[in-house]
């Protein structure tokens, strides 16, 4: 495992919609996200310039990330990479745990063998955020165990978000209940920055203050809105074999120099 605190020259992010940055608006019609925030933390914490590329595309499964993003990532010769996948696997009709683990470890190992430090993380329990998540909770638990095992086997860094209760606070998640909101992305970036030895990013796991009490009518309206705006469209895409990322290209396929 790489010693935390080393300076990095080029950071490449691989993954799906989480890594792409949904739902953390950048004010310019796009998304920022934890990976871009992390890149900025790294750049601010070292004297050398940092290049950053984000190959993530929403809706991608682990196998699709391996097939579409790994080779381009290796061609960019990163010395630091983040890899987070699996959400689209555990919400699919069938979750192939063995194939997920094999693909995940293959990506971590390929990046490590190429000389890159690799950082991954587990998926929090979303049951408090979205009660329907209880139907895939067992899958998420098994996926997280595989992520932990693969990270240990390949010498990759790991942030175990599933072990931090605050990550299941609904106030860190967006209206769709699948993606972190801006505060959630901010906390994730702080946790990852701390994991690679950057100072000044502790406290991300601290609980939020007391939640605002909402009326029954307000809660019912929120539930109805979620079903109509998010769950029903997701079911429709699933039945037709479509994903939210069909036809989309990576956000930053070529490295850019990170600056404020």
* Residue 131: pLDDT band with limits 50, 70, 90: confident
Rounded-to-integer distance, Cα 193 and Cα 164, Å? 16
Per DSSP (E only), the strands in the chain are 10-15, 51-54, 80-84, 117-121, 157-159, 252-257
The domain over range 10-207+214-257 is classified in CATH as 3.60.20.10: no
pLDDT of residue 227: 62
pLDDT of residue 236: 67
> What residue ranges do the domains of the chain occupy?
10-207+214-257
Using alpha carbons, select from 255, 257, 240, 211 the residue that is nearest to residue 75.
Answer: 255
Using alpha carbons, select from 144, 170, 164 the residue that is nearest to residue 85.
Answer: 144
Rounded-to-integer distance, Cα 52 and Cα 92, Å? 31
Higher pLDDT, 224 or 213: 213
pLDDT in tens, 135-178: 999 999 999 999 999 999 999 999 999 999 999 999 999 999 89
Residue written as tokens 């300076």? 7
User: Dmax of the chain from CA atoms?
Assistant: 55
In what helix (H) or strand (E) does residue 226 lie, and over which residues does it extend? helix 216-226
pLDDT of residue 212: 79
* Residue 232: pLDDT band with limits 50, 70, 90: low
Rounded-to-integer distance, Cα 38 and Cα 192, Å? 7
In this structure, are residues 249 and 49 in contact, taking their beta carbons and an 8 Å threshold?
A: no
* Residue 233: pLDDT band with limits 50, 70, 90: low
* Residue 218: pLDDT band with limits 50, 70, 90: low
């Amino acid at each position: 495992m790489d010693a935390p605190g080393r300076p990095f020259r080029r950071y490449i992010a691989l993954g799906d919609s989480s890594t792409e940055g949904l739902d953390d608006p950048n004010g310019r019609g796009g998304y920022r996200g934890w990976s871009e925030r992390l890149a900025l933390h790294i750049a601010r914490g070292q004297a050398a310039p940092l290049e950053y590329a984000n190959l993530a595309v929403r809706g991608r499964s682990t196998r699709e990330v391996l097939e579409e993003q790994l080779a381009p990532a290796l061609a960019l010769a990163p010395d630091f990479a983040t890899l987070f996948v699996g959400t689209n696997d555990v919400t699919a009709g069938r979750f192939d745990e063995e194939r997920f683990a094999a693909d995940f470890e293959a990506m971590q190992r390929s990046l490590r063998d190429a000389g890159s430090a690799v950082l991954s993380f587990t998926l929090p329990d979303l049951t408090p955020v979205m009660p329907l998540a209880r139907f895939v909770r067992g899958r998420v638990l098994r996926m997280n165990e595989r992520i932990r095992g693969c990270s240990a086997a390949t010498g990759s860094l790991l942030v175990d978000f599933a072990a931090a209760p605050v990550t299941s606070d609904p106030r860190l998640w967006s209206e769709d209940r699948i993606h972190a909101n801006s505060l959630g992305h901010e906390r994730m970036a702080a946790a990852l920055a701390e994991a690679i030895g950057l100072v000044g990013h502790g406290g991300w796991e601290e609980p939020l203050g007391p939640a605002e009490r909402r009326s029954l009518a307000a809660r019912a309206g929120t539930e109805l809105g979620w079903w109509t705006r998010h769950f029903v469209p997701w079911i429709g895409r699933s039945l037709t074999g479509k994903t939210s990322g069909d036809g989309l290209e990576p956000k930053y396929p070529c490295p850019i120099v990170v600056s404020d």
